[in-house]
Amino acid sequence: MMFLYVRVGNRDVALRLEDVEEVVKKKTLTPIPLSPPGFEGVMLLRGSPVPVYSLSSIMGEEKGEGKIVVVLKEKRGLLVDEVLGIKKGEPTPLSGSELASGTLGDTVVLDIEKIKRRIKW
């Protein structure tokens, strides 16, 4: 299985590559009044609106630079600080975590379905 490794605040985490559509530099975000916590705004990507959420806020991490948007297959974006690369691996299952499904060594593998439930998108 392939994973996209990203930095969020002071933590390195991984996302399943099959959940990722593309990675882009953050463009202008249009804020939406009365948005829930973690929602940063809407970014236009090739003329289509993409809602963008702060992964650091979702994870309860200190907010970083947030200069990269990981666009998911579902056309939602996750704001991260840095892309570290793509690696292959077999995660060790992790139960009882609110956001993670497993680990790859010291790196937590985030579960997009759990993130969706947390922010109710």
What confidence score (pLDDT) does residue 22 get? Answer: 98
> Across-strand partners of 80?
68
Low-confidence ranges of the chain (pLDDT < 50): none
Task: Provide the whole-model pTM.
Answer: 0.93
Dig out the tokens for 99 from the structure: 């956001």
> If DSSP codes are grouped into helix, strand and coil, which group holds residue 58?
helix
Which tens digits make up the pLDDT trace of 48-64?
999 999 999 999 998 88
Amino acid at 10: N
Q: Which fold is adopted by the domain 2-119?
A: OB fold (Dihydrolipoamide Acetyltransferase, E2P) (2.40.50)
Report angle CA 82, 44, 67 to the nearest 5 degrees. Answer: 15
